[in-house]
Structure 1
Amino acid sequence: MAVEQNSLIENYSIVIVNVAVAVIHYQDQYLLGFRAASQHQGNRYEFVGGKIDAHETATQALIREVSEETGIDIANNIAVKLGRLHHDYGDKRVCLQVYRIEVTAQQYQQYKNLSQGLEGQKLTWVEKQKLLAGDYDLPAANKTILAWLQLPTQISITYPLEHFNNASNPMTVWVQYHQEHLQIGALVYIRIKETGTEESINQLLHLRNDIKAIIPYNFYTEKADNTVINRQIVARHLTQAQLMQCSNGIAKNDIPDFIIASSLPLVVSCHDKESIDAANQLAKACLKHQLAPVIGIFLAPVEYTQTHPDTSPLGWEAWSRLAELADIPVIGLGGLSPVMSDQAMLHGGVAVAGIRQFFK
């Protein structure tokens, strides 16, 4: 996989440093280093990684840096692309190319007591729950990675309301069906287009307080009297059409008020290069202005789907080429099943999503 040169010149003056970042873990144990006080962004924890040399790809740099810093050989481990982060520290601009790498049980047993790296830096394994809770102070550019790590490998999508049109009260049956059939602890994209259904969404979340939800961006306002339900809602969703409507303004740093006002991360839908470019622009703008991040792209359709029978599927190879363009974690959608999550990762994604195959 080709990557940019280690140092590029932007506007003839600003140097951008490309860095490979390895989010190394074994199950829910994650490996962090600690930066010395004398270093840039010192006295903070960080994921393992370093500069990408001019002759290297990002994955080659990962293998070299992890070996040099920890002694762990990840040449045969799968590197799952999470995304790219473009961050301006004021005195330095960096592009972090971030990959998640799970070590084997044998590797973890060998290195689980590792407390000092080969370059003298402190190393520690930390629990994912504590990492995501912010117990470990990370550089600003790393904090979006924590939001990315909250995405599971499988995401359920609700049936459209029209699927229950034969019922005397479709909305009641919609709630009942999803209450009974959603997997325990699932992350669910509540894809419902009809207005006036917010109360039914709230009802489903109340009945299934074990699930987390992605909701349409204009279907919910954060309310103090809905504290429990607020905790279940982890992101808002923009369709491709909504994303493209925002794109001209975003290019001029005119970010829509609903994005500025919300503390919830965004998930967007994309189907082509143009929309992925728009999603990348939005992600950069959110990072620049310290807004809630864009944490995922639904890229579809991979395969033929009954939901959109007239849409030609991309196929895995074309899907993979589009996924490589994204600066954000990519989720496969369209004719997929939960067992295809590994296939998505091999093609540049982090997860799969769907309707029919994702219910018990």
Structure 2
Amino acid sequence: MSTSKPYIRVAAGLILDSRGRLLLGQRPDGKAWPGWWEFPGGKIEAGETVEQALVRELDEELGIHATQVYPWIVYVHEYPKSVVELAFCQVTAWEGEPHGRENQALDWVDPWDIRLNESEHPIAPGGGSLLPAATPPLRWLRLPPLYRISQIGSPSQTGDWLTRLRQELLAGLQLVQFREPHWQGDETSLLAAFEATLALCRQHGARCLINSTHPQAWWARADGVQLRATDAALVLQQDTRPPGWLGVSAHNAQEIDCARELQADFVVLGHVLDTDTHPTQAAMGWETFTQLAATAGRPVFAVGGQSAATLETARQHWAHGVAAIHGTLV
């Protein structure tokens, strides 16, 4: 990345209404990239927090007062003439009706209707192009906020696990990780449990990732891979990215750096709170979690003592969502 270009810090809002629609604004004539669509927001002034800057910018641009702002992801994008650090926030509540105070056009769109192309700019439903930095957050929005991690343990418990999982899937769970490092059975029974979990997830339209503790020959069957921190370092050395969605487990800044270099889709960071599974290890707490999550450049799931009850707190601390083995998610 160039060090000679101006470095600009921007707060950008993904404004989402109760129907899940996303508000886009079209850049007016007289500004750079005229006619392109973008997320509302603007430069962070000296002394402002991300949230303060975004609230001010949304008032100036749209005439609304944001009342619920979740800090989400800090992402750096290099344009031809500048380097822009975008602090993306999700805005889910506001006062007033959005309108273009700078004579810019506005449009509410379904994020799933926006075409994402690897080699082109994302295309909005009306046919216009979005700014290049808009592609990653649109993909990230398609990642559910709740992530169930299995802990079946043995073949005799597989039936109970599938019953519980079916109930969660019926209640709306969309992301599952098959992770059985302490399986008390042979490989045949482990494979059967994995295949049953995968089939159930696909029956309900959910994604199922497999943990890298399991044979690499199984990875391509799943919808993606969750790399343990040690495995992520090895994969980075081999320069071979696993297929599908890629998650990386991390516990410190170095492991988050590895996730960034692998261009992982998301990070699972923790453990945040005290848990029975790590009784002798100190939890990092929300302050450390926030500091690390803000450097990841991609969605971060909080793990360790998490459940649906902690989701609101997690989102206030730069988490995309929560991951859990025991906690109730739905």
TM-score bucket (shorter structure): 0.7 to 0.9
Looking at structure 1, the residues matched to 47 and 288 of structure 2 have their Cα atoms a distance apart, in angstroms, of 27
Residue ranges of structure 1 left out of the alignment (5+ in a row): 1-8, 223-229, 250-254, 287-293
Sort the Cα spacing of 1:198 and 1:92 in 2 relative to 1 into closer, same or farther, 3 A: farther
Instruction: State yes or no: 1:154 paired with 2:139.
Output: no
Q: CA deviation at 1:23?
A: 0.8
Structure 2 residue 12 is matched with structure 1 residue 26: no
State how 1:1-360 maps to structure 2 within 5 Å: 11=3, 13-27=4-18, 28-36=20-28, 39-74=31-66, 77-104=67-94, 107=95, 110-111=96-97, 114=98, 116-131=99-114, 136=124, 137-159=129-151, 161=152, 163-164=153-154, 167=156, 172-173=158-159, 176-177=162-163, 179-184=165-170, 185-186=172-173, 187-193=175-181, 197=190, 200-208=193-201, 209-210=203-204, 211-216=206-211, 218=216, 219-221=218-220, 233=223, 235-246=224-235, 249=237, 256-259=239-242, 262=243, 264-282=244-262, 286=263, 294-358=264-328
The structure whose residues are more often helix, as a share, is 1
* CA RMSD, 1 decimal: 3.0
For residue 236 of structure 1, report the CA deviation from its aligned partner: 2.7
Q: 1:175–1:203: 8 Å Cα contact kept in structure 2?
A: no
CA distance in 2, matches of 1:84, 1:36: 25
| TM-aligned CA deviation for residue 198 of structure 1 | 5.2
3-state secondary structure, aligned to 2:90: strand
**Secondary structure, counterpart of 1:84 in structure 2:** strand
After superposition, the C-alpha distances for 1:305-355 in whole angstroms (9 at most, x for unaligned) are 223333222233333333333322221111222111011122222211212
Residue 345 and residue 359 in structure 1: after superposition, are their counterparts in 2 closer, same or farther (change >3 A)?
Answer: closer
C-alpha spacing 1:343/1:275, structure 2 compared with 1 (3 Å): same
1:61-96 CA-to-partner distances (Å, cap 9, x unmatched) read 21221111101112xx23212212222233332221
CA distance in 2, matches of 1:124, 1:15: 30
Distance 2:60 2:162 in 1: 55
CA shift, 1:25, in A, is 1.4
Unaligned runs of 5+ in 2: 117-121
Q: How many residues align?
A: 307
Residue 189 of structure 1 aligns to a residue whose secondary structure is: strand
User: Is the CA contact (8 Å cut-off) linking 1:175 and 1:200 kept in structure 2?
Assistant: no
Contact persistence 2:149–2:176 (CA under 8 A)? yes
**Cα offset, 1:117, TM superposition:** 0.8
Asked if the contact 1:158–1:178 (Cα under 8 Å) also holds between the matched residues in 2, the reply is no
Q: TM-score, normalised by structure 1?
A: 0.74
Amino acid at match of 2:81: D
